[in-house]
Amino acid sequence: MTNLVLREDDAGLAVLTLNRPDALNALSPALFVELRAHIDAIATSIDTIGCVILAGRGRSFSAGNDLKAIQAGERAPSVHFQAETLEAIERLPQPVIAAVQGHCYTGSLELALACDLIVAGESARFADTHGKWGMSPTWGMSQRLPRRVGLARAKELMYSGRVVSGPEACSLGLAVDCVADAELLAHATALARRFMENSWFTLRADKMLVNGGLDHTLAEGLEFERKNSPGRGPDMEARMERLRSVRKAPSQAPGKSRDPLRHFLEHRVRTRTRSLLNAVPVIGGIQPM
């Protein structure tokens, strides 16, 4: 590999970084070959990788398909290699978070849409520019964008080619969060860590069941869940035992709440109740209790 895509693993989290900052991480065929190799390796690492972040080095996530490389004669291993790579990302057992700053146009938007969630930096700019070049989607735009933002909004974005900012992407449901660029990777990492506190078995099951049921009616989807749910995970008993241990933990001194928030709320309720009783008028010399 020539390091067009970097991989860094840390405590179960794999971070893949598009590494062509001088070309705004344009998606050349060679970059896709490296990306696919990483994806295939992660797919078989369910015991060691619980979540994946896809990011871009430099000021942009990616400017999109590298037309210059194609014009120069660079070719992917097969006709549909790029589209199949996006499908491989979508099929990864682990949740995948795209951390997007700067450009995220057309092919790179299709790449981000193959991820489970998008976290946007304030500088993020999303657009489908197929129409500006007289091209049509082949990497999934027509199918994934409507599923993310709804049919009418997807058509408006595709027909107009207009640019959507990071904050607007969040309001449209294209992104789940929008944060300052300086906090983008840290925020995506914190989100991934929050997911990974839960059972990795359940994360994989949730993704499989949600994605597998998308093309069904509600009734069919419910049947799909019943037939395909993997049930209890291998870590369920250990997690239940930890919960039982916490519940059996000895209380603090009598009269002291172990939870400061609960103690505060109980005090507020008692104080408010006394105030209401004192405000009740005396009837016949007797104050109601």
For the segment 156-174, what is each residue's pLDDT rounded down to a tens digit?
Answer: 999 999 999 999 999 999 9
The per-residue pLDDT for range 87-134, each reduced to its tens digit, is 999 999 999 999 999 999 999 999 999 999 999 999 999 999 999 999
Q: What's the rounded Cα separation, in Å, for the pair 14 and 211? A: 21
Q: What's the rounded Cα separation, in Å, for the pair 152 and 146? A: 8
Specify the DSSP class assigned to residue 27: B
Q: Which helix (H) or strand (E) holds 79?
A: none
Cβ pair 15, 53 in contact under 8 A = yes
Q: What's the rounded Cα separation, in Å, for the pair 63 and 162? A: 15
Mean pLDDT (whole number) for 140-164: 98
Whole-number pLDDT of residue 239: 84
Q: Is the pLDDT of residue 206 over 80?
A: yes
The per-residue pLDDT for range 71-81, each reduced to its tens digit, is 888 899 999 99
| HEC assignment per residue over 224-240 | HHHHHCCCCCCCHHHHH
pLDDT tier at 233, thresholds 50, 70, 90: confident
List, in order, residues 6 or more apart from 269 with CB less than 8 Å away: none
Q: Is the pLDDT of residue 273 over 80?
A: no
Quote the percentage of the chain above a pLDDT of 90: 75
- Give the strand pairing for 125-127 and 164-165: antiparallel
**82 by DSSP, 3-state: which?**
helix
Q: Is the pLDDT of residue 240 over 60?
A: yes
Domains recognised in the chain with CATH numbers: 5-196 (3.90.226.10)
Mean pLDDT (whole number) for 200-224: 95
Specify the DSSP class assigned to residue 250: P
Q: Is the pLDDT of residue 47 over 70?
A: yes
Phi, psi values for residue 129, rounded to 5°: -105, 20
Cβ pair 54, 99 in contact under 8 A = yes
Q: Which residue has the tokens 């207009």?
A: 162
Whole-number pLDDT of residue 42: 98
Cβ pair 164, 172 in contact under 8 A = yes
Whole-number pLDDT of residue 67: 84
pLDDT tier at 215, thresholds 50, 70, 90: confident
Whole-number pLDDT of residue 280: 45
Q: What's the rounded Cα separation, in Å, for the pair 201 and 237? A: 13
